[in-house]
Every structure is written in C-alpha cells, then in structure tokens.
Amino acid sequence: MAKQDMSEAELDARHAEKMKKKKAARDKIMATKTIEKGLLIVHTGKGKGKSTAGFGMIFRALGHGMKVAVVQFVKGRIETGERMALEKFSDQVTIRRMGEGFTWETQNRQRDIAAARQAWETAKELISSREHSIVLLDELNIVLRYDYVPIGEVVDFLRDEKPDDVHVVITGRNAKDELIEIADLVTEMTQIKHPFRSGVKPQIGIEY
C-alpha cells in the first residue's frame, strides 16, 4: 500500500515496525564497537565550525569533569568568547596561547616560525603528560601548511608517542594528507553559504 493511502493508525504501525528494525540493526552494530582509545580527530575544510566544534568538544568534556588543554597555534581569537567561557572551569583547563593573530596580520616569518615551534613543543608536553583527557591543537593545520613545523615530525609524534588514553583534536583548513592518513576521525566542514557574501559583518557570538 502506498504511504499516502494509509490511515494514521497504519502509518503509526508501519513506523513502529520500521523503527524497531532500525534499532535492532543499530544495537547489533554498536555491540561490535568495543575498543576504547584516545582518538586523533581532525576538523578541516573551508567551512565554519572547525574550531567551534573543537571547543564544543572541550566544553562537553569539561561538563563531564574531565581535564582538558588547549594550544592555540595561530588565531588571537581565543581572547574573546571561548576564553571567557573557559574561565568558569579554570581548575580543569590549561590554555597555551601562541602566535599573535593570523599570519597575514604579523608579516614576520621568523617570529611566526619561532612561535609555531614553541607551541608545538608545548603541545607535545601537554599530550605526553597524560594529565588531560583531550588536547585541542587549534589551527595547527595552518602552521603545518606553511611548513613552520615539519609534518613528518608531527605525524611521528602523534602516531608513535601519543599516549593511548589521550584524545587529540586538530583544527584548521587544508589538513595535510599525511595527517588525515593517521587520524581516526576526520570531518570536513564545507561552506555552502556564507553571510559575508551579502555584506554582513563579523558579529559577536558568531565570528568571535
């Protein structure tokens, strides 16, 4: 019988049956998922939401009472909303800020290289310490793209030295293939529509 010819009661019955099957299928699949491990997560792509979702994970973990760390590789953005919100959880969160804004703001390559190198050393220490359940390396991909820190060095550390019980989240557009290769979870944020195109300016709570 076609859906449009069904009575509400028939639709309800069909729905219950369909959902029951879906649930059974899902339960069966999830029963096979038994491994627990610290994941390497990458948010990349040209769309919005890469860092925002990274910070969303950080806040979710804070809600659970977990300890987290954030290393900011490029943006000065953390000064604003996220930073003020993170202050409510000051006993659970470690923040290390490097760089002084977007690279096209500084125009000083040697200073950027030094800052990136220092941020990466800090990131390694925070991850290795195992004191934080999640370490967010915000905008690391930009640093890797400019080769301010060699991708080989980053891949070697994350693959061979990252403790098994620490999640690492890396954000930034243009994630390198070598990083995607060793990652457990990769999401690409794709821009479908952006308000700047209609002349809308960056707004509080939205862009910063």
Type and span of the H or E element at 71? strand 68-72
Around Cβ 32, how many Cβ atoms within 10 Å?
Answer: 7
The residue among 38 and 98 lying less far from its own copies, judged by its C-beta, is 38
80 binding its own copies? (CB under 8 A): yes
15 binding its own copies? (CB under 8 A): yes
What is the SS3 assignment for 172?
Answer: coil
Contact pick of 114, 129, 156, 200 for its own copies (by CB under 8 A):
200
Residues 135-164 that bind its own copies (CB under 8 A): none
Residue 50, class by beta-carbon neighbours within 10 Å (0-12 exposed, 13-18 middle, 19+ buried)? buried
Contact pick of 131, 157, 173, 187 for its own copies (by CB under 8 A):
187
Contact pick of 53, 95, 151, 155 for its own copies (by CB under 8 A):
53
In whole angstroms, what is the distance from residue 37 CA to residue 175 CA?
22
Residues 167-186 that bind its own copies (CB under 8 A): 167, 180, 183-186
Residue 33, class by beta-carbon neighbours within 10 Å (0-12 exposed, 13-18 middle, 19+ buried)? exposed
45 binding its own copies? (CB under 8 A): yes
54 binding its own copies? (CB under 8 A): yes
Interface region with its own copies, contact rule CB under 8 A, candidates 115-123, 136-144, 154-162, 196-204: 196-204
133 binding its own copies? (CB under 8 A): yes
91 binding its own copies? (CB under 8 A): no
Q: How many residues bind its own copies (CB under 8 A)?
A: 87
Q: Taking a C-beta distance cutoff of 8 angstroms, is the pair 72, 139 a contact?
A: yes
User: What is the amino acid identity at position 195?
Assistant: P
Contact pick of 47, 76, 94, 128 for its own copies (by CB under 8 A):
47
Structure-derived torsion over alpha carbons of residues 146, 151, 154, 159, reported in degrees to the nearest 10: 150
